[in-house]
């Protein structure tokens, strides 16, 4: 059985492509911006104290105030990034670029950072994390290939590789990933039985863990490529029959185990009886006719195949 990942038509339109933004070093602007603010403050004070005429004084004060306000606006351009973090900026509604280099930078202060998933991540910052992250989806009830209801959940290791797609192609990349994981689980689970099927198929959800994990990873990757997400690993973290059939399936498994154990016991008992008869005959310890052999075989099988320990009976009479 070969399951091909389903791209669901999402791979045809990739949307906005990422534009790398270099950003200016923030250390140079850290000198310029305070200088502008001090210059504006100085102009305001000079206009208020040193200028005697009213119009020049007012003009100097206004220029100083505007210069100081401009300095305050420039302070909004300072940004700091740790390793594996990124900013996605928009400028008046248009995509401006993505800054993903660690360090201290200054960008256009009118740019706005965008991160639609910061509420889902529980973070107040608008930075995007480029680190490998884990998604542990809740258990959901699906049907396997044989129609049996099962409970299944997966753990997905993922990271963002295209910040523009993650922010602009989907509404919330965290919620989108979770939804696509649920859909992929249903798609893959119905391709395999829970356990080895009665028709002899060797592949199953429980027995072919690595193969199922590879198929699941490919299925999720095909669905999340539009969101700029790379799936590093996807594995089943919980797999069990649904509660309504769990008891019946447990009885079936127990019955199968008992039958297999009994077959092994009978095979061993027959082998031991055969060996005992051959030893008695070869070493001529005792001569047994067919009736005695049948009785001995019956007794040995009862002893070897019984669930309880046999109670020995000493026979002082003649064997022959």
Does residue 197 surpass a pLDDT of 60? no
Q: Are residues 268 and 229 in the same domain?
A: no
Q: Which of 46-50, 202-206, 299-303 has the lowest mean pLDDT?
A: 299-303
Residue 316 belongs to some domain of the structure? no
To 10 degrees, the CA torsion angle through 16, 17, 18, 20? -120
pLDDT on residue 89: 94
Positive/negative CA dihedral, 119, 125, 127, 129: negative
Same domain? 235 vs 254? no
Same domain, 216 and 118: no
Mean pLDDT, range 131-140, rounded to an integer: 89
- What are the backbone dihedrals phi and psi of residue 63, each rounded to the nearest 5 degrees, phi first? -60, -40
Q: Is residue 115 part of a domain?
A: yes
Which residue has better confidence, 165 or 261? 165
274 lies in the same domain as 237: no
According to the model, what pLDDT value does residue 90 have? 93
* Same structural domain, 180 and 253: no
CB 19 within 8 A of CB 88: no
Look at 22-31, 210-219, 303-312 and tell me which has the smallest mean pLDDT.
Answer: 303-312
Same domain as 279, residue 190: no
Dihedral over Cα of 99, 100, 101, 102: its sign:
positive
Q: Residue 2: its pLDDT value, please?
A: 41
Domain end point (choices 75, 108, 126): 126
Residues 79 and 141 in one domain: no
What are the angstrom distances between the C-alpha of 270 and each of 113, 184, 290? 79, 51, 17
Rounded alpha-carbon distances, angstroms, from residue 217 to 101, 141, 213, 225, 275: 29, 20, 6, 12, 55
pLDDT confidence of residue 230: 95
- Using CA atoms of 99, 102, 105, 107 in order, give the dihedral in degrees to the nearest 10: 10
Asked whether residue 14 is domain-assigned, the answer is no
Domains in the chain: how many in total? Answer: 3
Full domain range(s) for residue 72? 24-126
Q: Are residues 149 and 237 in the same domain?
A: yes
Q: What is the pLDDT of residue 314?
A: 54
Domain finish residue from 109, 126, 143: 126
CA distance 188 to 144: 9
Highest mean pLDDT among 46-60, 112-126, 157-171, 270-284: 157-171
Q: Residue 286 pLDDT more than 80?
A: no
Q: Is residue 232 part of a domain?
A: yes
Domain of 204: which CATH number?
3.30.479.30
176 and 204 belong to one structural domain:
yes
Residue 177 lies in a domain: yes
Average pLDDT, integer, range 160-176: 92
Q: Percentage of the chain with pLDDT > 70?
A: 74
Q: Given this model, what pLDDT does residue 240 score?
A: 82
Q: With 60 as the cut, is the pLDDT of residue 6 above it?
A: no
Structure tokens at 253: 């498994």
- How high is the pLDDT of residue 198? 54
* One domain for residues 174 and 93: no
| Lowest-confidence pick of 34-48, 53-67, 180-194, 297-311 | 297-311
Q: Does 98 have pLDDT greater than 70?
A: yes
Same domain, 97 and 85: yes
> Which of 126, 143, 178 is the last residue before a domain boundary?
126
Residue 113 in this model has a pLDDT that exceeds 70: yes
User: In this predicted structure, what is the pLDDT of residue 192?
Assistant: 85
315 falls within a domain? no
Distance of CA 58 to the CA centre of its chain: 64
């Amino acid at each position: 059985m070969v399951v091909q990942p389903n791209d669901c038509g999402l791979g045809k339109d990739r949307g906005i492509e990422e534009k790398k933004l270099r950003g200016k070093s923030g250390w140079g602007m850290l000198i310029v911006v305070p200088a502008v603010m001090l210059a504006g403050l100085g102009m305001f004070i000079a206009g208020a104290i040193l200028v005697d005429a009213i119009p020049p004084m007012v003009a100097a004060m206004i220029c100083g105030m505007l210069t100081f306000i401009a300095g305050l606006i420039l302070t909004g351009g300072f940004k700091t990034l740790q390793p594996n973090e990124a900013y996605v900026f928009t400028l008046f509604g248009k995509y401006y670029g993505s800054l993903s280099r660690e360090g201290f930078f200054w960008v256009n202060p009118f740019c706005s950072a965008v991160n639609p998933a910061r509420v889902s991540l529980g973070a107040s910052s608008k930075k995007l994390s480029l680190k490998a992250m884990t998604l542990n989806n809740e258990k959901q009830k699906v049907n396997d290939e044989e129609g049996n209801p099962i409970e299944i959940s997966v753990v997905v290791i993922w990271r963002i590789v295209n910040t523009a797609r993650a922010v602009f192609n989907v509404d919330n990349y965290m919620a989108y990933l979770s939804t696509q994981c649920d859909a992929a689980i249903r798609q893959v689970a119905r391709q395999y039985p829970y356990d080895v099927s009665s028709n002899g198929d060797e592949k199953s959800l429980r027995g072919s863990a690595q193969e199922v994990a590879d198929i699941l990873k490919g299925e999720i990757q095909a669905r999340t490529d539009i969101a700029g997400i790379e799936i590093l690993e996807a594995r089943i973290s919980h797999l069990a029959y649904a509660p309504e059939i769990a008891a019946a399936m447990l009885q079936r498994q127990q019955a199968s185990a008992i039958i297999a154990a009994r077959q092994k016991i009978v095979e061993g008992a027959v082998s031991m009886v055969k060996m005992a008869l051959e030893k008695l005959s070869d070493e001529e310890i005792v001569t047994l006719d067919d009736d005695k052999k049948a009785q001995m075989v019956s007794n040995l099988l009862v002893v070897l195949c019984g669930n309880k320990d046999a109670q020995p009976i000493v026979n002082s009479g003649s064997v022959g």
